[in-house]
Chain A
Amino acid sequence: MSPVGTGVPRADGPAKVTGDALYVDDIRPTGCLYGATVRSPRAHGKILGLERDPNFDWNGITVVTAEDIPHQNVVFLMTEDQPALADGLVRHVEEPVALVAAETRDRALAAAKHIRVILEDLPALLDAEIAENHEIKIYGDDNVFKRITIDKGGQVENGIVIEGEYRVQHQEQLYIEPQGMISVPREDGGLTLLGSMQCPFYIVKALAPMLGHKRMNVVQATTGGGFGGKEEYPSMLAAHAALLTLKTGKPVKMIYRRDEDLRATTKRHPSVIKIRSVVGEDGTLLQWDASIIMDGGAYNTLTPVVLSRAILHLTGPYRCANQHLSGVAVATHTPPNGAFRGFGAPQAMFAVERHMDRIARHLDMDPVAIRQHNLVVDGDISVTGQVLTDTGAQVVLDQALEAAEAAVRTPHKHPGGGIGRYARGRGVALVFHGCGFTGNGEAAIKGKVGLELEGRCVRILTASTDIGQGVETTFPQIAAAELGISVDRVSNAPHDTANVPDSGPTVASRTCMVVGGVLQEAAKKLRSALQAETGLDTNDFDDLLMARTNTIPLRVQAEYVDSGKFIWDNDTYQGDAYPAYGWSCSIVDLDVDLDTGEVLYRRFVSATDVGKAINPVIVEGQIEGGSIQALGYATYEEVVLDDQGRMINDRLTNYIIPTTLDSPEMITRIVEIPYTGGPFGAKGIGEIPMDGPAPAVAQAIEQATGVVLDILPMTPERVLAGLEIST
């Protein structure tokens, strides 16, 4: 039986259930010092100096400031605007200003507390909605990181105009393992950086301008969750640990405390979305104009790309001849926002799906019927001019409704069932998600994968890291299936940049679909190499191995090859925005406690097109985990900022994520519409579960209570306020 399509137990499972797996904080190099960070107490200010408390014992404490940086003071990502340590000016609260190292963690934390950053306050700009062209300048001359407009068709004269505004908030990734990194000096004067991360090669690129060289290797430790939060931010920790190692000559470990991690690291971009639609009396979408303002925070990070994905999802999975999309991502004096599972799409999809509900409400239509009426089918043209094929909107909607036994619904405007203080509701949301990088991103990156023959076994050399999503298992499944051998003969080599090629970053739901495809090509190359070496014509891997006359390790490498099938113009935003799309329908059943406004989840059903489930157990785990993270986005997770933009609920006691008791039982249906460009038909699956649940919850609350919420999170306070208005 092929290893693909079966729930092979995870390769990393046994080490994780016994406590043997080593995460960064479990590793302690000999002579290791501990690092800590001195941060800005204010949102915007001129740095006048650092003051060390004369009553503190500074014996054995090393302090690093911007002056100690050997070359450029920059942590490079898309641009060079973000310094490793603030020099002269702080642009957001909690911005790193200085670093300390000490022999124990407690001493390092204490030393950091006893350094005061003396600032001259400058006026801070915290409101994204007024940031563009504001007199307070943060980025460029207009505070705009990126602006995008896409137009298709024209203006419609006749029809019913329906307008709405939708607001979504910060969300913290909340990986359970806080950020952590270890820097170790190498004998050649270079550095080894070992830590919790998604993208080892990002760190090489980020640190090279600061160090003035690339004599470094980056190694991923077992990583306790990422969700995008460990895409770019680990470069900052790596820069800091490296600076401390340069000054002390010793290994340095930096592990963030949870409160520091919450206050200082990237979050999902808050956004305001406005939609103006023109519809026919039967609910047909005639025109769809949507705009978004996205808060990037103080530095560029990945914000332009997040805006790009948000815009490209602002149509929803719906057909409309006239679409006009625009968006702007602006700078504010708040901690930079960055990558988080979904990457702009959850913001867009909440607005789109709430707007579909608004249209249904206005026309007195069933919310499912309005979606059914407008969903895209094969041959429809997207806003960028892409001809859609292998669309799955209809099938996931049908499958989810069938799974939820929900062919017939009660009209949404009547409060639902339930008894006494509980009102019961059901919500249905339909979403799509572009898989992999936008446009021609893959052709630019040319991800590489190596394969190494070692005796009867095969080792995969890839920079695609396992952050819980299962790469250590699914990659061996893909290679084993292609080679026709058992999966236990294939494993991933450690993700060390000294030893693996650059496969591109572990992001954008691209690992299985894109890098997995390169891996499949590498497996074919390995077989061809063996055929050439042995002169045999067989595809039987063991026959080829038997015929080998030497035991020299054989190594092959494959690289992403652009098929030429997808054309994309990054200037006009025209063409094939994504090589493939995933489709998903979320159905949530919930009760609203009419006394407290609390939402109690009863059941969550989803049907999701994944192309091909390489490992159905892992795929279900991705969908279920992402869905609960999205239910947290819907009703629990709120980042509260003070007048300096500092997160004040910086603990797990007051930043609430779902527990076992908050989370409903789930029915997860996998739909497989194969993508011919993916390995065995696989599509990206990591992010799409984040898109649908929040709007489904909003619709369910509306059905249960009549309360219309177009804002996240839908906290008990907001539900109660809505109930008071409606009674």
Chain B
Amino acid sequence: MIQFTVNGQPISVEARPMTRLIDVLREELRLTGTKEGCGEGECGACTVIIDGIPVNSCLIPIVQAQNTVITTVEGIAVDDNLDPIQKAFVDFGAAQCGICTPGFIVTAKALLDNNPKPTRREIREALAGNLCRCTGYQKIVDAVVQGMGSD
């Protein structure tokens, strides 16, 4: 039995130790906001936050999730109120087809939690592990800047 916390909820699952975290999230817990684009840690669509660090959930065997705290895209908004990053993604047109968007939101959230005032360059560096084919990234970077707030 592997125990961890997802979006504030304690979870215990029975799974083979090498089962991928993404499969547990999507198939067992039905948290389908986490997307699979490549299955080998290149596209970042499956990014989740584990103990404050953004990681590709397709590369994490579930055994490594033991006793961790995990946030998926479903856990970013609080009580149906969009996080400022999410709101900025909507307002700035940073989500087009949207399949990469959960990964970008989660990565940006981890960035701003750790570095509340990143430069545009630091934003681009933080998001370099997430691939988007629709936007050209300009509006995504703009949205993260907006998501920082002005204070």
Contact = CB atoms under 8 A, between A and B. Distances in A.
Interface of A: 7, 9-10, 12-23, 25-26, 173-178, 222-227, 257-258, 467-470, 617-618, 620-621, 624-629, 651-653, 657, 659-661, 663, 665-666, 668
A281 to B, nearest CB: 41
A313 B86 CA distance: 41
Contacts of B134: 225, 468, 621, 625
14 contacts: A7-B93, A22-B32, A25-B32, A25-B35, A224-B98, A225-B99, A621-B96, A625-B135, A652-B37, A659-B128, A660-B127, A660-B128, A663-B137, A666-B136
Contacts of B70: none
A395 B36 CA distance: 43
Given A16-B89, A624-B137, A663-B136, 16 more contacts: A10-B95, A17-B90, A19-B31, A19-B32, A223-B97, A224-B97, A224-B98, A617-B93, A620-B139, A621-B136, A624-B139, A628-B137, A652-B38, A657-B131, A659-B137, A663-B137
B137 A660 contact: yes
A225 B93 CA distance: 15
Contacts of B93: 7, 9-10, 617-618, 620-621
A629 to B, nearest CB: 7
B89 to A, nearest CB: 5
A465 B25 CA distance: 29
A16 B73 CA distance: 10
Contacts of B21: none
Interface in B11-48: 26, 31-40, 42-43, 45
Contacts of B76: 18
A174 B140 CA distance: 19
Nearest to A22: B32
A661 B125 contact: yes
Interface residues of B, number: 54
B141 A660 contact: yes
B53 to A, nearest CB: 19
Contacts of A661: 124-125, 128
Contacts of B97: 175-177, 223-226, 467-468
B40 A652 contact: yes
The 7 closest A-B pairs by CB, nearest first: A19-B33, A224-B99, A468-B97, A16-B98, A13-B90, A652-B42, A624-B136
Nearest to A17: B86
Contacts of A618: 93
Nearest to B36: A25
B57 interface: no
B75 to A, nearest CB: 9
Nearest to B132: A176
Contact of B95 (A17, A175, A178, A657): A17
Contact of B99 (A10, A176, A659): A176
Q: SS class of chain A's interface: helix, strand, loop or mixed?
A: loop
A258 B92 CA distance: 29
Given A18-B73, A628-B136, A9 B131 contact: no
A660 B38 contact: no
B40 A13 contact: no
Nearest to B129: A659
Contacts of A18: 33, 73-74, 76-77, 82, 86
A625 B136 contact: yes
Given A14-B82, A177-B97, A651-B40, A9 B133 contact: no
B91 interface: yes
Nearest to A629: B133
Contacts of A12: 95, 98
Interface string B84-122: 001001111101111111100100000000000000100
Contacts of A26: 26, 32
Contacts of B105: 17
B9 interface: no
A690 B86 CA distance: 29
A661 B32 CA distance: 28
Contacts of A226: 97
Nearest to B102: A19
B138 interface: yes
Pick the most buried of B33, B40, B132, B136: most chain A CB atoms within 10 A of its CB: B136
Contacts of A624: 135-139
Contacts of A14: 82, 86, 90
Contact of B101 (A17, A223, A627, A651): A17
A101 B63 CA distance: 29
A25 B95 CA distance: 19
A651 B38 contact: yes
Contacts of B82: 14, 17-18
A255 to B, nearest CB: 9
Pick the most buried of A175, A625, A627, A653: most chain B CB atoms within 10 A of its CB: A625
A176 to B, nearest CB: 5
Nearest to B139: A621
A318 B116 CA distance: 51
B71 to A, nearest CB: 12
Nearest to A104: B27
Pick the most buried of A19, A25, A225, A468: most chain B CB atoms within 10 A of its CB: A19
Contacts of A177: 35, 37, 97, 99
B120 to A, nearest CB: 8
Contacts of A621: 93, 96, 134-136, 139
A17 B136 contact: no
Contacts of A13: 89-90, 95
A279 B97 CA distance: 46
A112 to B, nearest CB: 16
Contacts of A176: 35, 37, 43, 45, 97, 99-100, 131-133
Given A19-B33, A621-B139, A222 B98 contact: yes
A17 B89 contact: yes
Given A12-B98, A19-B73, A468-B98, A175 B138 contact: no
A574 to B, nearest CB: 38
A625 B132 CA distance: 9
A628 B132 CA distance: 10
Contact of B133 (A22, A223, A227, A257): A227
Nearest to A665: B138
Nearest to A174: B133
Contacts of A20: 33
A16 B101 contact: yes
B22 to A, nearest CB: 11
Contacts of A665: 120, 138
A12 B90 CA distance: 9
Contact of A470 (B96, B101, B128, B141): B96
